Amino acid sequence: MRFHTYTKFNPQLADAVDLQSLLDQLADFLLQSGFAGGEQGYWGDPGEEADRSVDSLKEAILRALIESGQLTPEMLQALRGEGDAVSEEKLAELLDGLVQRLIQDGFLTTDQGANVPAGHQPVTGKGSIAQAAARDVQFNLTDKGVDFLGFKTLRHLLGSFGKSSLGSHDTPQLSTGIESDAWSKPYEFGDTLNLDVPATLANALGRTGSLDVPIDLDYRDLMVRQSEYRSSCATVLMLDTSHSMILYGEDRFTPAKKVALALTHLIKTQFPGDTIRVVLFHDSAEEIPIATLAKAQVGPYHTNTAEGLKLARRILMAQKKDMRQIIMITDGKPSALSLPDGRIYKNSLGLDGYVIAETLREVAACRKSNIMINTFMLARDRALVEFVKQMSQISRGKAYFTNTMSLGQFVLMDFLKKRTKRVS
């Protein structure tokens, strides 16, 4: 006989925190894009990535708890103190418990990095052994965590629309299919036999005037249900990671990453026949998996729009879909170009005649391949408006001039509603 031993459950302070709400509050921290600002300057420490240590995570959790008001009276009472050892121990226990819950629920993972000092290092201060030891344990978002942030971002964005119908991409053409949305019609050779039984029986009874079984059915009696033709779409989301995306006191790349995660979640859940791929463009361009998007950062790069379009076009042409589109999120003028010999031609001033000509040539190649380019600009200077107008005219796509607060609404509204809004 098997015996079980039951012990009394002792609730911890961490158990009282709404974990999903906390993770939502931590979204900006978890998706940080290398934006430094403040005393560290625009780039932070040279060559140093964003701090993804567990210690920094605990600090972010504490700030989120305070800002969101999730600290219950019991927590405040337990944590209250003048910095004594007891209150500090309880605070550490609370933060450790929350980190453990995030790991146990599958939102985060941790890894222990090797930290071997090279040569002489100070014991304290910047670059010290103590600082290095505090960063030994790093955290990473899991696929579940990335998907959850996409879901929460999508809910926030759709909430601003009011009521929204999330169907597939509707087109004016009607065809017989499995999902019925329209009226019935007489069966024709080649139609899917999605039979409208009541209408078919009514035709047979009206023709024969008899209720005898079996019912005499004729070819002319057959009625099939129509459904709206649903098209599949392949999407490449191009994200600008040039230096301007974090300059001028504003982080533009983190909102762009949130939009990418929300769009990915929308396509996975509502448009299972669609695909979405992510391309980062800077001095050059590369495709990244959605799972690694959370760790993507901007850098000291120029804007090679032509290379991004070339890679996106190559990805889309390899997919057999009814529609192909590029969604480009950027805030700057093309300022770099890949040369045939592999070198990168750069002009920091932007709108270089050679760079613009080659970029527009790639835009024309996309149009020739029947690929629509929808551009979302996070800047509004006059020269940029003229360039985007020219690009939109060539690609017959749409252009939106927006900001970080409304970027998500514009991208999703364009994807869902397929509104026409051109630069004029």
Per-residue pLDDT of the chain in tens (424 residues, 90 and over written 9):
566 555 443 456 677 778 888 888 888 888 877 644 333 333 334 344 566 788 888 888 888 887 777 766 666 666 665 556 666 777 788 888 888 888 888 888 887 644 444 444 444 444 544 445 445 677 888 888 888 888 888 777 766 555 444 444 444 443 333 344 457 888 887 777 788 888 989 998 888 888 888 888 888 899 888 765 556 889 999 999 998 888 766 788 888 888 888 888 888 887 878 889 999 999 999 999 988 888 888 888 999 999 999 999 999 999 988 889 999 998 878 999 999 999 999 998 878 899 999 999 999 999 999 999 988 888 877 878 888 888 988 988 888 888 887 888 778 777 776 533 333 3
Check if the beta carbon of residue 375 is closer than 8 Å to that of residue 397: yes
- Taking CA atoms, 305 is separated from 118, 186, 285, 341, in Å, by 40, 52, 8, 18
| CA–CA–CA angle 292, 296, 301 (5° rounding) | 145
Measured CA to CA, the distance from residue 49 to residue 371 in angstroms comes to: 36
| pLDDT for position 34 | 65
For residue 367, the tally of other CB atoms under 10 A from its CB is 14
pTM for the model stands at 0.68
pLDDT at 230: 58
Total residue count of the chain as it appears in this document:
424
Closest alpha carbon to 135 in 115, 162, 154: 115
